[in-house]
Amino acid sequence: MQVAAYATQGPTDPLKPFEITRRDLQPDDVLIDITHCGICHSDIHSARNEWGRAKYPFVPGHEIIGRVSAVGGKVTKHKVGNLVGVGCLVDSCLKCSACHDGDEQYCEKGSVGTYGGTEPVIGGPTFGGYSKQIVVRDAFVLKISEKLDPAAAAPLLCAGITSWSPLKHWGIGKGDKVGVIGLGGLGHMGIKFAVALGAEVVMITTSPEKGADARRLGVSDVLVSKDREQMKAHRGSFDFLLNTVPVKHDLNPYLGLLARNGTMVIVGAIEPLEPMHGGILLANRRSVAGSGIGGIAETQEMLDFCAEHGIVCDIEMIDMKDVNPAYDRVVKGDVKYRFVIDMATL
């Protein structure tokens, strides 16, 4: 089927109207009319080929909310009219040990990305959510509660699950002291989740002016990392650090904040980092780890938690025609904290 979309034809070209081909409905497929799609910084990196893997034409978008408009004959979990979501994955083998463990994102045979992957039925690239409709295997379609604002729920499908997954994997909860490094799309969700899980949460930032917003989000304290006295006062006191900084930076000052057996998890920087000092790790048996998005069951758990606790992303809605200026604003950090496209404007 032919579907209206927005695509870029090259790394320096703007996104423009474009028509794409979606596969015909298979027995285990769900057809979704897309109502909202978030803008992730990964969309920008990918569209501009900053990671070197883009194939053009390129349609970004992996924070997708919509309503089911048709289902294949074998689909039982989703019905026409249901509010649903699609995140960063649209397929995996579902047979390997990672998939059996609910870690489809780490599929040993390679998961299929919502964009930039290989379409498993008709071939060619997968196209993302900057489009009117999408066809997705039912196992990768998520239920969205009607309690949630669908627009503000869209970034939960990437920013939300990327922040949620490490908090759950490392068992963060009441009694833990958690530091969230960086206040952006990931950081503001990390704060909301950690607070709702019962942890004591501290915002760690280089920008003192972000303190007021961090307190609005629920932190108990704000630590300015450029202030040596503040850093010294918090040394060795954090059980867990969620590091959302999206660029290369020095980890060593933050490592010193970890308590004995504490862990810092990298979720933001997808590039080489500054060298770490092994002595800081050996002292107090500290750990550094990385985490990507979560699997499907974990993402559904997060969405259900959000519905129970009234958690959504802080967003700014835009029309489809404004996507290119929005990209430039994201790069400048000029958004609190996620753009969401109203797909009715496509």
Dump pLDDT digits (tens) for 128-139: 999 999 999 999
- Find all residues with CB under 8 Å of 231, minimum gap 6, and list them: 223, 225, 253, 256, 257
Per the prediction, the chain carries an average pLDDT of: 97
At 7 the pLDDT is 98
For the chain, list the domains and their CATH numbers.
Answer: 2-157+313-345 (3.90.180.10), 160-290 (3.40.50.720)
> Using 50, 70 and 90 to split pLDDT, how confident is the model at 104?
very high
Tokens 């503000």 correspond to 152
Burial class, 332, CB count within 10 angstroms (exposed 0-12 / middle 13-18 / buried 19+): exposed
At 249 the pLDDT is 94
Q: How does pLDDT run across 326-336, given as a tens digit for each residue?
A: 999 999 999 99
At 74 the pLDDT is 98
Q: How does pLDDT run across 243-281, given as a tens digit for each residue?
A: 999 999 999 999 999 999 999 999 999 889 999 999 999
Longest alpha-carbon distance in the chain: 64
Q: Would you state the structure tokens that stand for residue 346, as one six-digit string?
A: 């496509």
Task: Please give the model's pTM, rounded to 2 decimal places.
Answer: 0.96
Residue type, 286: R
At 256 the pLDDT is 97
> Using 50, 70 and 90 to split pLDDT, how confident is the model at 178?
very high
Work out the average pLDDT over 152-180: 98
Q: Label the pairing between strands 133-137 and 338-342.
A: unpaired
C-alpha to C-alpha distance for 334 and 289, rounded to whole angstroms: 29
Q: Would you state the structure tokens that stand for residue 334, as one six-digit string?
A: 């000029």
Exposed e or buried b per residue across 86-125, where buried means at least 16 C-beta atoms within 10 angstroms of its C-beta = bbbbbbbeeebebbeeebbbbbeeebbbbbbbebeeeeeb
